[in-house]
Structures are given as structure tokens and as C-alpha cells.
Chains A and B, each alone.
Chain A
Amino acid sequence: MQNFDVVVIGAGPGGYVAAIRSAQLGFKTAVIEREFLGGVCLNVGCIPSKAMITATHLLHKAQHNFKEMGLNIKGGIDVDMKQLVKWKQSVSDKMSGGVNQLLKGYGVTIIKGDAEFKSSKEISVKSSAGTESVQAKYFVVATGSRPIEIPGFKFDEKDICSSTGALAFDTIPKRVAVIGGGYIGLEISSYLRKLGTEVTVIEAQSALLAGVVDPDCAQIVTRKLTKAGVNVLYGAKAKGQKKVKDGYEVTVEINGKDEVVKCDKILVTVGRRPNGDQANLKAAGIAVDERGFVKVDAQRRTNVSNIFAIGDIAGQPMLAHKASHEGVLVAEVIAGHNRVYDAKTVPAVVFTDPEIAAAGMTEAEAKAKGHTDLLISKFPFAANGRAVSMMETDGFVKMIADKKTHVLLGVHIVGPEASNLISEAVLAIEMGARIEDLALSIHPHPTLGETMMEAAEATLGHAIHIIQKPLKA
């Protein structure tokens, strides 16, 4: 029997952060993990996918931009897929190892195994070494989510895969059918296509990334994907698959008619579901809603007063950075600080080509929140010197501000390094900045960041590097 002040269940980007912050605050802390430190994010999600995206992005540049830049590669470029996957794995391992060192450095006890609540004060941890009992005054449930499986497509992670399997392909698949045109499906589609794979995206809605990002942004990515040769089937429903001699045949229903998509691998990325059915939450009396999310309040406390929940299990958006923010929050709440979750915005990033990033409200959300009059502008990367010199001019920065107060409400970026540029928007929105604040801050030249300044100027009607008609008063 071990006793702790705080026990965190799950060592993903929410859990390990909660554990470290708890230890920093002087609590005797343990973190329980059944699979790998860093969770999905570091091991089979964010980090490894970014490794693959970076590599294929370079490949693509070499193939398409080098010649024009006067860089000639003699003899072509081979992709050593085994080495690529090995390198990708080394990135994950390095990051996961870093988490291990941090946890140890802070004196956090790492317990490997499957956790199950016995009561609100006790859990049992099952591992190959046996079962042990762990007690704590406070528990933090950070058990995350898992890919949703659809009927007829049971994951084997070799041919019928979730993102986990897709990230582990050690040969370049010839034909892949991607079921679901959300951000995970499109990130993987983007880089598979660059490796030469024939990709067919099967999307139930009439647009990609529908309801996920600003439609203008989605359009740029859709166009580029299509141009790159990704085949997209809209209004399409994957009904089943069968193994045939040379791969798989996926039956897809479009407009009431069945069609067949031939492929070698099937990737199912229709979303993720919270692991509310795991860890025997019921034994502790923790309330879980019908979708599997643990119900929490603004302090991320569950209905059981000594148990908190963070990250994917605690509700949308299911994003690593939101989980980490909550991890710090709950540790400080446990320490008696007066804290609540009151972030104005959780940025979202899609690592497609080009990248999409957003913070704050969309146009529709702003209107729904009572901002009837809006200033909306777009500044294209094509008008930015740095983007031109990078040969990455697809996309724009779109800004939405309140017309009366000029307060910045939302920023939507599609283009090179959108993921890095969005942080400025997050800060501006959290600080309650006006668009003048962005326009009047001197941005370094020549950088992609200048597009933020110019987009802000564009909302005021006077961006320098595009021709704007004077705005009507």
C-alpha cells in the first residue's frame, strides 16, 4: 500500500504536467501510466506526426522548389522509409525520456500499470508485476481518449489503422483510403501524398474540416490537397470493406449509390472518444456523461470533491495544450489557490499543407455572441516578402474585430508557419488587444509575422502591401 497526497492517472500532456506542478507545490505525488510517458501526444500523436510532416515537407520542397531555386539534385531522392520511421521514433523516445527525467527530477513516483478506482480514496494498479493498492487524498483523472472505431473497420493497426498504425508504416503504402476528412486524416493524407501514396479521402460532409476551422481556411487546404492529387469523395459514407487479392475494397455510399475504393491500407480517422469507460470511475462515484466525458466544474473538479479530471476526458476541445493548462490549474487548486479555468481562447492548429491555426471566435461565433458589427480582413501571404522567399505563398491571415470597440475577436491563419504565428493572436486576445495594438507594434522584417500587423491594418482599411479600397464609415 502506498500513500500519496496527489495521484495522477495518465501521464499524457495533461497528467504529467499536473504531476510536476503538484510536486513543485510540495505534494507527495505519483503518476500512473499503463503505456508510455507523454501519452498519445508524445508517442503516437502530435510529436511523431510532426516528425513525418517535417520530413515530407522537406522532400516536397526538394522535389518542387529546388530546381527553380537553382539547387540541382543529381540522381533523385530516395526515401528510406525504415530510416524515416526510425528517426521519427527517436524523436518520440527523446521527448518521452525527457518527461521521465523531469518526473524523476521532481521526485514524482512513476507507477506503471492499469489503474482502477476502488473507492474515492483508493485505486489498484495492475501490472505484470502484480496488483498494488495506492491511496491518495487527491486524484487527477487524465486518462485521455482513443480513436473511434466504426462498424466493419476493426483496427488491426497494420492494414486497418488508426493514426497510431499509420504513423508506424515502415513501407510507403501504394494506395490508402482515409475515412474522415478531419484534421488527423488530412495531416496524414498530406504527408502520405508527398511520399507518393495514392490517397482517397472519404468524407461524409460536403467539405473537408467542416465545422473544425474557418471555411475560408479549409478551402485553401482542400484546393492544395486536390491539386497534389488527393482524391476526395464528399457526402460519402464508408459502409464496409473486404480483403481482395491485391488489397482491400472499401464500399462507399454516395448519394444512395455504392462505389468501391480500392486500396492497400485503410485509415480510419473519424474522431476520438474519451476514455470515460475505463479506470472504473464508477467505483469512486465519478459522474460521466453520455458521451463518456467526466463532468467537471470550472476548477476541473468532478462531482467527487477530492477527484479532478483534465484533458480529453474532461471535455472539448481535445487538445494537448488545453490538457497541460488544466494540469497546472488543478495542482494549484489542490494547493488551495483560488484558480479557475477562464482562458478566453484555446488555439487550434492543423498541420496540413499549408498549416491552419486559429484563436478566438469565427465570424459566426462572434455574431452569436452579440457582436453585430464586425471588421473582417484578410492579408495574403503572397504579399509577404518572407513567404515569397520561402516559395510558400498559399494562404492568408484573417482577422475579425468588433467594429465598435476595435477589440480583436478572432484570428484564422492558413499558410506557412501558421502554427507559430497564432501565438501572437492568442496573447492579443487574452490581453484584450485592439487591432490598433497589433498594427502599431513594430514587427520585424522580413518575417511571416508581418502578416499579423498587416492583417490588423487591413481591418482598418490601410494595409500597405495590398491595394485596399477605402472602408465605408
Chain B
Amino acid sequence: MNNERNSRNMATDVKLPELGEGVTEGELVKWLVKPGDAVKADQAIAEVLTDKATVEVPSPVAGVVKDLKFKSGDVVKVGATMITLDGAGAAKPAAAQPAAAAPAPAASTPAPAAGGGKAQDVKLPELGEGVTEGELVKWLVKPGDSVKADQAIAEVLTDKATVEVPTPVAGVVKELKFKSGDVVKVGSTMIILEGAGGAAAPKAAPSAGPVQSAPAHSAAPAAKAAAPVATASSDIFPPVADSKVLATPATRRLAREMGVDINSLTGTGLAGRVTREDVMSSGGGAAPAAAKAAPAAAAMSIPKPAYQGPAGAAEERVPLIGIRKKIAENMQRSKHVIPHFTIMDEAKVDAMVALRESLKEHAEKNGTKITYLPIVMKALIATIREFPMFNASIDDAAGEIVYKKYFNLGFAADTPNGLVVPVIKNADQKSILEISKEILDLSKRARDGKLKPDEMKGATITVTNIGSIGGTYATPVINHPEVAILGMYKIDEKVVLKNGQVSAIKVMNYTMTADHRLIDGAVAARFLAAFIGRIENPGKLLVELI
């Protein structure tokens, strides 16, 4: 549009630009330049006080200051000439419009240049911050179709949203490289176009910024947010709050952002108001499949209190990033969502210690060593078969309890980078020897930071063994969406009186921390007793072996 270019090479008047809504004039506070100064485009030339704020007035063009038209204290009307510049030539389009003016940085398009008629690969562009891949939902074109520049060719589902992928150039579709359901990495070739190059006209136009899905218009202040990501969905989830729900507008918005259907919550506030806390503790439901949004989208809103130490105190600040940040978020989420309670007891473990001693040699022959952990895991699985809710999850969004018929046991591993939880998948189908080997392998790779993400996913219950380091009891935090965590502690000797005789026995402490929404105290106590019964008599395990 009106891109008037002041491409004059003579003297130029610099006027007081519009300073804000309803502001018609300002008082000149001081000059930032004097006659004879060379000024660059956008350099501030004066400070002007309006009834709203003091603002710096930039010169839209470069040049040498010839004269100043006002002195400090003068009231200058918007539009009045403030200074005259000599040799103003490096003109920029009208001031106050930096966004529109900045020459578009070379299009992020693989320059179509003059290469009319050639075949060209259309790649998956960057889809947003931190998004490296997406799942191909569907093709919007088929081989033989002619496409225009910027036409959408496919819908791709990322973990944030469904986006339409445009082609930067026109051409005829020769080949589709993926099929629906495939995961496509950013930068991979999606389609090949024949006769590409010709129609990329808008890219070449000097004034129009290239519009592609990538945020190309870097001049916009919040360029990062510039890629539009709205997705169409016929059903709004969660549904719009019914007017009967009492909740403040901010709480209603929080619920929506967390993917919680506020209509389904019971308010604990005055007169049945749904409070911010009610929403937070509802756990943040995942959007149902229909809404297409990935469950991860239901972000937890974690409070961010500031910490201010005493002035001059010896403190060091390091960024809270990486694994530590992830742990912090996970722990906080668990504590937000799950009402925790812990029950503790002691087991006599002479028999288990003897069993392990007797197996040492056999294990070594099989190239591994047996710790107490795999035996504990087997006892845990056998006990879960009796009490299946310990291997469950709560689907808050659906309002359902999910009982899992498989046993994936996480175990907390202490690593130099912090706590990680590798998972023994289908532990019920593996022998103690196999589990031992797997534990050794996973622990070593955990310490080396070489675990793959899916080796830490999908646990149905977790065992933590911090007691091997110290402490008699602890209250471990449940790894959401699991509902329980078993803690085991160090083996100790204890003096007992038995039939009037003093004797020494070996004992080991156990804790069961459970999700009180699902598991009552008495049930947890029975569970722990049944579990300890197996630990105290490992022969039971053999009898129960499937």
C-alpha cells in the first residue's frame, strides 16, 4: 500500500510524530542532537514530555542536523517540524511503522529464483518452538494436482496443534513421500513438485513480507508467536461453562487452559463456587480424542514464587533447567494432583537374605548378580494380583479408574544428574535373573545419561530404594499417573526376645505411599501386610509363580 518513500536527497524536515491516543502535543524536554551532528535513521533526536509519558522521538531518516526548530520547554504540536536534516537520503519509509518497513529478511523459502520448470522438494517447515516432528494427519493434495504458492498441502499434528503445511512454491505434485499416520521430521521432504519455481511471485515483491508458516516477519515484536496455530475443531473442549457454574472469569479460563471441564467439578467455595484450588487439584484432564490436542497441551500452572536472599549474602544462582527442571515439574504435578499418604512397616528378612546368599553363585555363573530389588519386585507383582488398584491410574478427564493388566515396574535410579526412573516392562513375564540383568543394564545407562525416553515411560508402579544409602523411613512421591510407590530401606540387625531367649534377626523397612483418592488406609495396610508376608517367606513366591 502506501509505501511512500521519502527518497529525497535534499534537506528533510523531521516532524513530531503521533505520540499516542489523544495526544496532540508535547513539551520538549531536551535535545539529544545538536546542529552538525550526523544522525542515523531511527536514532532518537529529542525527549518530549506528553501528559502520559516522556518519549524519545526518533528520526525516520539519516542525515546531518541543520537546525533545531524549538528550544527546551517549548510545546510542540504533533506534525510540527522539529529539525531539518541535510543530505537525508538513506530514507526509510515513514516512521512509527518499523514492522511494516523493515525489509523482509530473505524469504525462508528455498529460493525459487529463476529456476522455472524444475522439480523441487517441499520440506516440512518449522512448526513452532521446540517442535521437531509431526504426524501426517492427511494429504490435502494428490499426485497430479497443481498447487499454488502458499496453498496448504497437508495437515500435520504436532504435540501442540494441528497445522496446515503450505507449499512455498507453485507446481504440479509429482510424488507424496509419506502416508497418513507417518511421523515426519522437520526438514524432511514431503512432496516433490514438478515445474516449480514459476509462481512464487509474492516472495519476490519487495514490500510484501513473505508469508509462510514459519515466522518470517522478524520485525514484529513478538515474532516467536507469529506462526498462527489456530486449529479447527468442531467440538469445543472443554464445553463452555454452563451459567450455573459459579466461578470467577479467571478460574474459568484456568480450567479451560488445563483442559478441565469446569461443569464437572464440585465447588468447595462459598455457595458452591468452583475455586482456583478446585481446578488445580482436579488434575488437568487431557482433551478427549475428538479435540485432537495432545494430552501434553493440558499444561499445569505451577506457581512461581520469587526468592530474594539477604543483600550481600554469598549465593550462587544457576538456571533451573534440564533434568532438574523436569523433576521439579513432575514432583510438583504429583503433589498437586495426588493426595498422598504413606504406611510403614518392618519385615523380617532372614529368609530372603539366606535365599539371596544361596543364589549368588548361580547368578554369577549366568553373568549377573542378584540384588534384593528383583525379589522385591516379584513379591510386589504377586501382591498386586491380589490388590489390582495398586497398578491402576485415574483418568480425571474421563472420570474413570484404569486398571492395568500388565506390570511395568519403574525403579528410582540415583544418577549424577538427578533422579531418573527406568522401567522394567512386563516384569511379570521375566525371571528374577532376567530382571537382574535388565536392572544392571538400565542403571548403568541411567548413570551415563544414555537411557532412551521410552525406557523411562509407561511404568504402572514404582519401587524406590533410597534406603540402601541411609534413613529408616521416607515418604516417597508417587510418579503420576501411577497411584502407588513402594519404598525399601536398608537391612539391619535387631535384637528380639523370643521364648525368653535373646536373639538377633535381620529386618528391612518398607513403605507404601498411595493415592488416597483410590486407596483407603486399611487397604494399603492389608496390601503392605500381604507384601511383607511374601518377603518374610520367599517360598510363597515360588508357590504362586505362574
Interface residues of A (CB under 8 A from B): 1-6, 23-28, 94, 97-99, 101-102, 104-105, 107, 109, 111, 121, 132, 135, 137-138, 297-299, 301, 305-306, 333-344, 369, 405-407, 430-432, 434
Shortest C-beta distance, B253 to chain A (Å), equals: 7
Chain B, interface size category, equals 35 or more
By beta carbon, the residue of chain A nearest B222 is A26
Sample of 5 A–B contacts (CB below 8 Å): A3-B150, A26-B220, A28-B209, A298-B236, A338-B257
Chain B neighbourhood of A305, CB < 8 A: 231-232
**Complex contact B208–A26 (CB within 8 A):** no
Chain B neighbourhood of A341, CB < 8 A: 240
B215: Cβ under 8 A from any A Cβ: yes
Chain B neighbourhood of A338, CB < 8 A: 256-257, 259, 297
**Complex contact B246–A407 (CB within 8 A):** yes
Shortest C-beta distance, A194 to chain B (Å), equals: 28
Chain B neighbourhood of A344, CB < 8 A: 243
Report the Cα distance A24→B229, complex, angstroms. Answer: 15
Chain A neighbourhood of B420, CB < 8 A: none
Asked whether A340 and B228 contact (CB < 8 A) given A107-B100, A432-B246, A432-B271, the answer is: no
Q: Which of B100, B228, B232, B243 has the most CB of A within 10 A?
A: B228
Chain A neighbourhood of B150, CB < 8 A: 3, 121, 135
By beta carbon, the residue of chain A nearest B163 is A336
Shortest C-beta distance, A286 to chain B (Å), equals: 14
Shortest C-beta distance, B530 to chain A (Å), equals: 45
**Complex contact B97–A336 (CB within 8 A):** no
Other A-B contacts than A107-B98, A336-B161, A432-B271, 10 sampled, CB-CB below 8 A, are A3-B211, A23-B99, A25-B222, A26-B220, A28-B226, A98-B22, A104-B96, A339-B256, A405-B271, A431-B248
Chain B neighbourhood of A4, CB < 8 A: 211
**Complex contact A369–B243 (CB within 8 A):** yes
Report the Cα distance A298→B238, complex, angstroms. Answer: 11
B348: Cβ under 8 A from any A Cβ: no
**Complex contact B100–A109 (CB within 8 A):** yes
Shortest C-beta distance, B260 to chain A (Å), equals: 11
Chain B neighbourhood of A343, CB < 8 A: 249
Report the Cα distance A434→B259, complex, angstroms. Answer: 28
**Complex contact B18–A105 (CB within 8 A):** yes
Contact pick for B253, options A105, A334, A339, A434, CB 8 Å: A339
By beta carbon, the residue of chain A nearest B152 is A121
Contact pick for A1, options B23, B208, B220, B271, CB 8 Å: B208
The 3 A-B residue pairs with the shortest CB-CB distance in the complex, in nearest-first order: A305-B232, A107-B99, A432-B246
Chain B neighbourhood of A137, CB < 8 A: 211, 228
Chain B neighbourhood of A27, CB < 8 A: 220, 226, 228
Chain A neighbourhood of B272, CB < 8 A: 405
Contact pick for B228, options A23, A138, A434, CB 8 Å: A138
Chain A neighbourhood of B297, CB < 8 A: 338
Main secondary structure of the interface of B (DSSP, over half): loop
B337: Cβ under 8 A from any A Cβ: no
**Complex contact A105–B230 (CB within 8 A):** no
Chain A neighbourhood of B223, CB < 8 A: 26
Chain B neighbourhood of A138, CB < 8 A: 228, 230
Asked whether A1 and B205 contact (CB < 8 A) given A299-B236, A334-B230, the answer is: yes
Report the Cα distance A23→B247, complex, angstroms. Answer: 30
Q: Which of A23, A297, A336 has the most CB of B within 10 A?
A: A336
Shortest C-beta distance, A186 to chain B (Å), equals: 29
**Complex contact A109–B1 (CB within 8 A):** yes
Chain B neighbourhood of A102, CB < 8 A: 21
Asked whether A105 and B225 contact (CB < 8 A) given A1-B202, A298-B236, the answer is: no
Contact pick for B232, options A5, A26, A301, A339, CB 8 Å: A301
By beta carbon, the residue of chain B nearest A335 is B225
By beta carbon, the residue of chain A nearest B98 is A107
Asked whether A340 and B21 contact (CB < 8 A) given A107-B98, A135-B150, the answer is: no
Report the Cα distance A24→B225, complex, angstroms. Answer: 10
Q: Which of A2, A6, A338 has the most CB of B within 10 A?
A: A338
**Complex contact B230–A333 (CB within 8 A):** yes
Chain B neighbourhood of A336, CB < 8 A: 160-161, 228-231
B123: Cβ under 8 A from any A Cβ: no
Interface residues of B (CB under 8 A from A): 1, 18, 20-23, 96-100, 150, 160-161, 201-202, 205, 208-211, 215, 217, 220-226, 228-232, 234, 236, 240-241, 243-244, 246-249, 252-253, 256-257, 259, 270-273, 297
Chain B neighbourhood of A298, CB < 8 A: 236, 240
Contact pick for A26, options B202, B210, B224, B256, CB 8 Å: B224
**Complex contact A104–B18 (CB within 8 A):** yes
**Complex contact B18–A101 (CB within 8 A):** yes
Chain A neighbourhood of B253, CB < 8 A: 339
By beta carbon, the residue of chain B nearest A370 is B244
Q: Which of A4, A5, A99, A337 has the most CB of B within 10 A?
A: A5
Chain A neighbourhood of B98, CB < 8 A: 107
Chain A neighbourhood of B244, CB < 8 A: 369
**Complex contact A5–B211 (CB within 8 A):** yes
**Complex contact B208–A407 (CB within 8 A):** no
Chain A neighbourhood of B161, CB < 8 A: 336
Chain B neighbourhood of A306, CB < 8 A: 230, 232
Report the Cα distance A121→B147, complex, angstroms. Answer: 14
Report the Cα distance A99→B390, complex, angstroms. Answer: 61
Chain A neighbourhood of B221, CB < 8 A: 26
**Complex contact B96–A105 (CB within 8 A):** yes
**Complex contact A407–B230 (CB within 8 A):** no
**Complex contact B226–A342 (CB within 8 A):** no
Shortest C-beta distance, B26 to chain A (Å), equals: 14
Report the Cα distance A342→B150, complex, angstroms. Answer: 34
Chain A neighbourhood of B99, CB < 8 A: 23, 28, 107
Report the Cα distance A1→B1, complex, angstroms. Answer: 10
Report the Cα distance A417→B160, complex, angstroms. Answer: 47
Shortest C-beta distance, A113 to chain B (Å), equals: 10
**Complex contact A2–B1 (CB within 8 A):** yes
Shortest C-beta distance, B155 to chain A (Å), equals: 11
By beta carbon, the residue of chain B nearest A333 is B230
Report the Cα distance A462→B225, complex, angstroms. Answer: 54
Shortest C-beta distance, A318 to chain B (Å), equals: 21
**Complex contact A28–B211 (CB within 8 A):** yes
Chain B neighbourhood of A111, CB < 8 A: 1
Contact pick for B225, options A3, A26, A333, CB 8 Å: A26
Shortest C-beta distance, A362 to chain B (Å), equals: 14
Chain A neighbourhood of B256, CB < 8 A: 338-340, 342
Report the Cα distance A430→B160, complex, angstroms. Answer: 30
Asked whether A5 and B21 contact (CB < 8 A) given A28-B211, A297-B236, the answer is: no
Report the Cα distance A333→B229, complex, angstroms. Answer: 9
**Complex contact A107–B220 (CB within 8 A):** yes
Report the Cα distance A5→B222, complex, angstroms. Answer: 14
**Complex contact A335–B100 (CB within 8 A):** no
Report the Cα distance A2→B100, complex, angstroms. Answer: 12
By beta carbon, the residue of chain B nearest A138 is B228
Shortest C-beta distance, A170 to chain B (Å), equals: 26
**Complex contact B228–A342 (CB within 8 A):** no
Shortest C-beta distance, A413 to chain B (Å), equals: 21
**Complex contact B97–A107 (CB within 8 A):** yes
Asked whether A407 and B248 contact (CB < 8 A) given A26-B222, A135-B150, the answer is: no
**Complex contact A342–B252 (CB within 8 A):** yes
Contact pick for B217, options A28, A105, A432, CB 8 Å: A28
By beta carbon, the residue of chain A nearest B249 is A430
Shortest C-beta distance, A344 to chain B (Å), equals: 6
Chain A neighbourhood of B229, CB < 8 A: 335-336
**Complex contact B240–A98 (CB within 8 A):** no
Shortest C-beta distance, B113 to chain A (Å), equals: 19
Contact pick for A105, options B20, B215, B241, CB 8 Å: B20
By beta carbon, the residue of chain A nearest B20 is A101
Report the Cα distance A338→B237, complex, angstroms. Answer: 9
**Complex contact B228–A334 (CB within 8 A):** yes
Chain B neighbourhood of A99, CB < 8 A: 21
Q: Which of B161, B226, B248, B271 has the most CB of A within 10 A?
A: B271
**Complex contact B273–A432 (CB within 8 A):** yes
